Structure 1
Amino acid sequence: MNLSATIDNFLEMMSAERGASKNTLEAYRRDLLWANEELAGAGTSLIDTGREQLTKILASMQKDGFAATSQARRLSTLRQFFQFLYAEGLRNDDPSGDLLSPRKHPNLPKIISEKQVDNLRDLAEKNAQRADFTAAEHKKAMRLHTIVELLYATGLRISELVTMPVRIVRGAPDFLLIRGKGSKERMVPLSGKAKEAIRKWLELRDKTTDSDSSYLFPAHSEQGYIARQVVARELKILAIDAGINAHNISPHVIRHAFASHLLQHGADLRVVQQLLGHSDISTTQIYTHVLEEKLQSLVNEHHPLAERSHAE
């Protein structure tokens, strides 16, 4: 059995049937090639291996200091691969079936305050209105202002933002139809500030050579849209100018702020899950730590036992 061809068939299935993105497919390929290389050292191959050899290479990851998340991701890849082999009749067993996943301790997201977000947005807006900027500087400032407003108003993933088609913001819509991971679609509302920033950006964008681009944020690159690294770099520079630690700012941190601030103001967790495009509510639950004080206060104020205690 040809391993390379088998991996290609597996990746084709993951793309066609499960909507795996290009980056996810590349990660699967790396994981499988890593496993095959490790198993070769033990005198076997990925296709022929058994449970004992799989256990050993997974244990070696822990010994080598890999994070629990990396271990879990590779185990997940192997499980899906062996399930594919079994379903296709290429193996009559699944050696990964009863392997235990490493314990993962959820990393609490970095949180920035509403005041810090306001400072960031205010400075981005101020820069977009500066009269002393060159045409190139003005365009860059207008683009960043629009990006900041969009990120905070919608909680978009950076990949969703940079690849956003310009057509979906034409006509000043109140909602955006976003295609996220696994090609799943969701509706996200736009704030008034975000709509106004988009309107002004489109006015400027459409007067330039970028007007023919299909992307909201075009770039003269192979992809045709602004690189996520460029957005991250410009955000950090803006943060420094706004008096915020640059290490605490990234597009993903603003996504965290969107979710956390919604919850702090009483949004339902499942609504936030839908807005973020999380397929599993457990992913959204990492944000609930920001509600601990609010929930404790709510119980103390409104629970019948608490009321009785105050009366006594």
Structure 2
Amino acid sequence: MPSPAARRQVINALPGCGPADARSIDAFLDAAWAEGGLARATLDSYRRDLQGLARWAGWRAGQPAAPTPASAPPGMDGLDLQDARHGAPGRASGNWLATADRGLLFDYLAWRARAGYSPRSNARLLSCLRAFYRQLVRRGARADDPTALLEPPQLPRSLPKALSEGQIEGLLDAPDLDTPLGLRDRAMLELMYACGLRVSELVDLPANAVNLRQGVVRVTGKGSKERLVPLGEESQHWLQRYLDQARPQLSAGKAVPAMADGQVPLFIDGKRRALSRQAFWGLVKRYAAAAGIDPAKVSPHGLRHSFATHLLNRGADLRSLQLMLGHSSLSTTQIYTLVARQHLQQLHTKHHPRG
């Protein structure tokens, strides 16, 4: 199966979007941001999805020449690179998105499935396309919605992977507390586990989001929805130490530059910049290895899963958990009951005399 990097290489090798498609994408994203307040990461994903469809449609119709199998990455030469080209070659302006029919969208989804894209990735793409074409219909730019009869792929119901409480303790103890960066990392790990934050919520936290006196943090989640989450004594302690000892050293007494939203970041690196998601991902992997945990089985999102699983195992109710996680639907939170039930079954098997 081709790797994600190889799949991206094929899409990126295709001709770019035409001006008409580029304008359609920009108009859609502007409206989606204004009406729905979608997060920057979601808008970026939507842009990539729509650009990928436009490039593929133009390639398949032969506008301009498509990459040959010889120019494709290893393992990708059978992925429709020799398909018969068809479509409407007269659309030199690249107006593929606004004029796509259901057959073209179905073929693109089928191509992605054969190329190894996961059902979850294709489900997200279809969600993006539905939003895009609904907007075109509302604006009167199309009379029909070509996604109306397209069925989303069946998604496997996978259980979140959580660390044990002992593994969490080892991970939290891994940073070197004698350095400002280690103290910062301990505060970040404690906060993420104490509040069940998404990694983007953690690295984007502004300095004024934490109220140590009241013991809460104001989190801006998906769809720009805000929620208040209790901190807990341990995370308050490490945050206070970070703010008193580490952050002044990292900022070197200078003003910290604002992020893209105009807010000053809470967590900064040695150059007074906010950490990226990728940088924090690397930190978690490094500390997992130091704690004797297989880094391949640990991710920042795993701390969020561990937060939810451990709370349920200790008697938290689903509604409270939903509010703390920022889930818009209780059904999303309910998957953690399966994790808790699995944990109880394991305890029963291990400790019951007839287990």
Q: Normalising to structure 2: TM-score of the pair?
A: 0.75
- In 2, the alpha carbon distance for the partners of 1:95 and 1:291 equals 41
Match of 1:25 among 35, 43, 49: 43
**What are the superposed Cα offsets for residues 232-270 of structure 1, whole Å, 9 maximum, x if unpaired?**
222222222222222222211111100110111111112
2:127: which partner in 1? 76
Going from structure 1 to structure 2, the CA distance change for 1:294 and 1:247 (only over 3 Å counts) comes to closer
1:218: which partner in 2? 268
Say whether 1:253 aligns with 2:253.
no
Going from structure 1 to structure 2, the CA distance change for 1:246 and 1:293 (only over 3 Å counts) comes to closer
What secondary structure sits across from 1:47 in the alignment?
Answer: helix
What secondary structure sits across from 2:42 in the alignment?
Answer: helix
Match of 1:54 among 92, 100, 105: 105
Q: CA deviation at 1:201?
A: 0.8
Contact 1:109 1:287 in 2 (8 A): yes
Match of 2:236 among 176, 184, 195: 195
1:240: which partner in 2? 289
Aligned AA (2:30) = E
What secondary structure sits across from 2:228 in the alignment?
Answer: strand
- In 2, the alpha carbon distance for the partners of 1:108 and 1:182 equals 24
Is 285-294 or 158-167 further displaced after alignment?
285-294
Contact 1:172 1:199 in 2 (8 A): no
Contact 2:218 2:226 in 1 (8 A): yes
Q: CA deviation at 1:206?
A: 5.0
How many residues of Structure 1 are paired with residues of Structure 2 in the alignment?
287
Say whether 1:14 aligns with 2:58.
no
What secondary structure sits across from 1:207 in the alignment?
Answer: helix
Going from structure 1 to structure 2, the CA distance change for 1:207 and 1:94 (only over 3 Å counts) comes to closer
Say whether 1:271 aligns with 2:271.
no
Aligned AA (1:195) = Q
Is 39-48 or 184-193 further displaced after alignment?
39-48
Matches within 5 A, 1:147-162: 147-162=188-203
1:172: which partner in 2? 213
Going from structure 1 to structure 2, the CA distance change for 1:270 and 1:81 (only over 3 Å counts) comes to same
- In 2, the alpha carbon distance for the partners of 1:234 and 1:27 equals 24
Contact 2:250 2:269 in 1 (8 A): no
Contact 2:212 2:236 in 1 (8 A): no
Contact 1:259 1:272 in 2 (8 A): yes
Aligned AA (2:192) = L
Contact 1:172 1:195 in 2 (8 A): no
- In 1, the alpha carbon distance for the partners of 2:200 and 2:288 equals 21
What secondary structure sits across from 1:208 in the alignment?
Answer: helix
What secondary structure sits across from 1:187 in the alignment?
Answer: strand
1:43: which partner in 2? 87
**What are the superposed Cα offsets for residues 178-219 of structure 1, whole Å, 9 maximum, x if unpaired?**
111111000100110111111111111453361532221123
- Segments of structure 1 that go 5 or more residues without pairing to the other structure are 131-137, 298-312
Going from structure 1 to structure 2, the CA distance change for 1:163 and 1:278 (only over 3 Å counts) comes to same
Is 235-244 or 27-36 further displaced after alignment?
235-244
Matches within 5 A, 1:77-92: 77-92=128-143
Contact 2:196 2:308 in 1 (8 A): yes
**Structure 1 outlier segments of 4+, above 6 Å:** 294-297
- Segments of structure 2 that go 5 or more residues without pairing to the other structure are 1-18, 61-85, 89-95, 257-263, 347-355
Is 104-113 or 11-20 further displaced after alignment?
104-113
- In 2, the alpha carbon distance for the partners of 1:117 and 1:65 equals 34
- In 2, the alpha carbon distance for the partners of 1:296 and 1:243 equals 26
1:292: which partner in 2? 341
What secondary structure sits across from 1:56 in the alignment?
Answer: helix
Q: Give % identity.
A: 38
Match of 2:311 among 258, 262, 266: 262
